[in-house]
Amino acid sequence: MAITLSTTANSDHLANLRRLVLGRWAVLAVLAQLILVGPGLLDIPVPQTPLLGIVAIAGLFNGLAQWRTASARTATTGEIFSHLLFDVGILSAVVFLSGGAANPLVSLLLPPVAVAALTLPGRWVATITTITIAAYSLLMVYYIPLPMADATRATRLHLGGMWLIFVVSTVMIGWVIVRTTRIIRQRDAELATAREQGLRDERVMAMGTLAAGAAHELGTPLGTMALLAGELANEAGLSPAAQEDIALLRQQIGVCKQIITGLSRRAGAERLENSPLQAADQWLAEVRQHWHAARPQASSRLIVTSDGTAPDIVADPRLEQAVLNLLNNAANATASPLDIRLGWSTEILSIDIRDHGPGFPPEVLELGGQASFPAHERGSGVGLMLTRSAVEQLGGSLTLANPDDGGALARIELPRTKT
């Protein structure tokens, strides 16, 4: 049978190869003890020198393999296949020199087949299985017999050896299967998380497309409203209260136009990855000022909890919108002043937004922005989902909690920008 070794690199293969190397050390240690202690303890004449030479060669091979896997990032299917072939060859040589198929050590040919079944494609498993069966069959015919005059004693030793090798084989196979199954479960969980993240990102992208279209369409009616508000402001005989209301209306229209202009710019020529660096406290103060322009009736306190100069932060529009979403949610929950806290460590920069309202409902804490909520009187129910998606795209995390002393706390944690 012609065999073409696969050159496809895979990080999973590297993990399997490292476990194979570790398991081989255990088998070689058991073999060395049996060769050194067994003949004297059980009064069985065996060719110790050739057997120890085989174990030494296997140990040298395994040391080189461990050195290679320690610095490698991937391994190939062909590497695992060649290692399993080496194990079959080494074990066959040991059994050949110590009684052939009658030696209980012949059962150690099973673990390589089990490892192949768990880690290799079907054709590789079939090849390993065929070679192992062929080796076992040849050892029934070709071997160096051990001189044992007492048949009854030989039978007892054989049964005892079978029990020992059965225990070793069972432990090895069980260990490999448990570790491999754990990795498979972990990978399945990661794939499920990635799939959910992909669905959320797809929905966010669709919302972004709709938002860009809405921003374009809203320009005309806002321009009309600004024109009419300007004409009303020039009307004679308006009361001071009406003039204040019109001034507020014009200011709010101006804010809306700034938001729409920003959306159009970000969706067009401005690239998010080219966002400038800015001191975190200055950036957060500007975001807070921008938010107060849109919600002049709200109040907040900006508190810097760390000492020293504030680190730089990427002035990314996605992060700005995430903070604005959290501020709007907090202001909707209570009329009390909001606490905006900025802190940092050597690795993390955190932004806390704390309100003193009734706290997050249980369903919000449970989902935590993983999915949208039904639309309600103060919003469309997607603010937290958009916020979480934006923060995660920037490598950070969003945490929601209800502090023991009341209110609600939303924390954004971001990795510090490397300068």
CB within 8 Å of 148: residues ≥ 6 apart: 44, 154, 157
Kindly state whether residue 349 falls inside one of the protein's structural domains. Answer: yes
pLDDT confidence of residue 1: 35
Report whether 146 contacts 45 (CB < 8 A): yes
Tell me the C-alpha distance between 24 and 7, whole Å. Answer: 24
Burial class from Cβ neighbours inside 10 Å (0-12, 13-18, 19+) for residue 117 reads middle
Residue 356 is part of a domain; what is its CATH number? 3.30.565.10
Partners of 304 in the β-ladder: 342
Rounded-to-integer distance, Cα 112 and Cα 87, Å: 7
Written as tens digits, the pLDDT of the chain (419 aa) is: 333 344 444 667 888 888 889 888 988 998 898 888 877 666 677 888 999 999 999 999 999 999 988 888 888 889 999 999 999 999 999 989 988 887 877 878 888 888 888 888 889 999 999 999 999 999 999 988 877 656 566 666 666 667 777 777 777 777 777 877 787 788 788 788 777 777 766 666 666 656 665 665 666 677 677 777 777 777 777 788 888 888 888 888 777 777 777 665 555 444 444 568 889 999 999 999 988 887 888 889 999 998 888 899 888 878 888 898 899 888 888 888 899 999 999 889 999 999 988 888 888 887 765 555 444 444 445 677 778 877 887 888 888 999 988 889 999 999 987 65
Read off the amino acid at residue 323. Answer: V
Of the candidates 248, 139, 186, 233, which has an alpha carbon nearest to the alpha carbon of residue 11?
Answer: 186
**Domain end (from 147, 182, 209):** 147
In a domain, 79, yes or no: yes
Which of 147, 164, 197 is where one domain is finished? 147
Instruction: Please say whether the beta carbons of 320 and 258 come within 8 A.
Output: no
Q: What is the DSSP string of 361-382?
A: -HHHHHHTTSS----BTTB-S-
**Joined tokens for residue 178:** 């448990």
Three-state secondary-structure class, residue 9: strand
Number of domains present in the structure of the chain = 2
For residues 164-179, one letter each, b for 16 or more C-beta atoms within 10 angstroms of the residue's C-beta and e for the rest, the string is ebeebbeebbeebeeb
Residue 79 belongs to domain spanning: 9-147
Strands 300-304 and 338-344: parallel
Which of 127, 147, 167 finishes a domain?
A: 147
Q: Is residue 227 part of a domain?
A: no
Q: Is 231 domain-assigned?
A: no
Environment class of residue 220 by beta-carbon count within 10 Å: exposed (0-12), middle (13-18) or buried (19+)?
A: exposed
**How far out from the chain centre does Cα 176 lie?**
23
d(CA 402, CA 28): 57
* The residue type at 330: A
Residue 333 host element (H or E): helix 317-333
199 in a domain, yes or no?
A: no
Total residues found in the chain within this entry: 419
Which distant-in-sequence residues (6+ apart) come within 8 Å of 37 by Cβ? none
In a domain, 410, yes or no: yes
Residues 265, 272 contacting (CB under 8 angstroms): no
Q: What is the pLDDT of residue 42?
A: 65
19: its two tokens: 């476990």
Q: Which residue has the tokens 């919302």?
A: 207
Domain assignment present for residue 68? The answer is yes
Spell 350-361 as b/e; 16+ CB within 10 A means b: bbbbbbbbebbe
* One-letter identity of residue 394: L
Instruction: Please give the full DSSP string across 247-301, using - where no structure is assigned.
Output: HHHHHHHHHHHHHHHHHHHHHTT--GGGPPEEEHHHHHHHHHHHHHHH-TT--EE
DSSP code at position 413: E
Q: Are 115 and 176 spatial neighbours (Cβ–Cβ below 8 Å)?
A: yes
Burial class of residue 1 in the structure, from the number of CB atoms within 10 Å of its CB (0-12 exposed, 13-18 middle, 19+ buried): exposed
Does some domain include residue 291?
yes
